[in-house]
Homo-oligomer: A and B are copies of this chain.
Amino acid sequence: MFVKIEQKKVFLEILEQIQEQIKAGAWSAGDKLPSERVLSEELGVSRTAVREAIRALEIIGLVRCVQGEGNFLAEDLTRCLMQPLSMMFALSGTGVRQVQQLRHALEVETARLAAVERSEAELLQLEQIVNRMETSKDEQERAELDRQLHYRIAEAARSPMILSILYAASHLIENLIIGIRVSIMTYDSGFAMIDSQHRAILAAIRLKDAKLAARCMDEHMEQVESYLMHLEKANPNN
């Protein structure tokens, strides 16, 4: 019969055109894009519409807006999901348990991939982190190293998609790690188990044994989840 007439919102069309320009390689990371006035003139729309489109891109993290200077394409696309993800998490009342589930899923895979993809330099760095974590006496520093270890593994996995999601959830994960370590101190009075699991993961990555690395990370995550259950039992909120 009749084809539905599609009347997109103007700013969506602008969005598409800008995306196409980026995909076509007209602009690359960090570039300054045309001023809002120029864009509005070239596209034949008002500055308002252009601003809405650019605002949308800013929200997503694709564009950085600097007053008095201009609008720039983001340099680092891997971190660009943070804003929307964290907002969604905040609003949908995501609990620690769900954050841990996501982490479990992603980090098993990063361990698997890192075992294959890691460079020698990355391996060295991972080993340094683990060593420092075992010798340090400052719990705050140890927690920070714990966090770093997981991120360095994720970076060594060379999977930008997974990495960007991990980054997006990063501050949630950080709280998670701290909470878990508190739980461990309370109920277990020691990190021997955690440290040995870190060592096992590292050993598998050193051997480039993907399956083993995945299994070790899986065990680590399960251990973490058991601590989490202690925490939830003692502290049913959240």
Binding site for B on A (CB under 8 A): 11, 19, 22-23, 48, 51-52, 55-56, 59-62, 77-78, 80-81, 83-85, 87-94, 98-99, 101-102, 104-106, 108-110, 113, 159-162, 164-165, 214, 218
A-B residue pairs in contact (CB < 8 Å), sample of 30: A19-B87, A19-B90, A19-B91, A23-B90, A55-B59, A56-B56, A56-B59, A59-B60, A60-B88, A61-B84, A77-B88, A77-B91, A80-B84, A81-B84, A81-B88, A84-B84, A88-B164, A98-B160, A99-B161, A101-B109, A101-B161, A102-B161, A102-B162, A104-B109, A105-B105, A105-B108, A105-B109, A105-B110, A108-B109, A165-B165
Q: A169: nearest residue on chain B (CB-CB)? A: B161
Given known A85-B81, A87-B60, contact A94–B160 (CB-CB < 8 A): yes
Contacts of A159 in B (CB 8 A): 98, 101-102
Cα-based distance from A135 to B220 in the complex (angstroms): 41
Give the CA-CA distance A98 to B158 in the complex, in Å.
9
CA A91 to CA B60, docked complex, whole Å:
12
Min distance, Cβ A85 to any Cβ of chain B, angstroms: 7
Residues of B within 8 A of A52 (CB): 51-52, 55
Copy number of this protein in the oligomer?
2
How long is the Cα–Cα vector from A155 to B144 in the complex, in angstroms? Answer: 34
A94 B56 Cβ-Cβ under 8 A: no
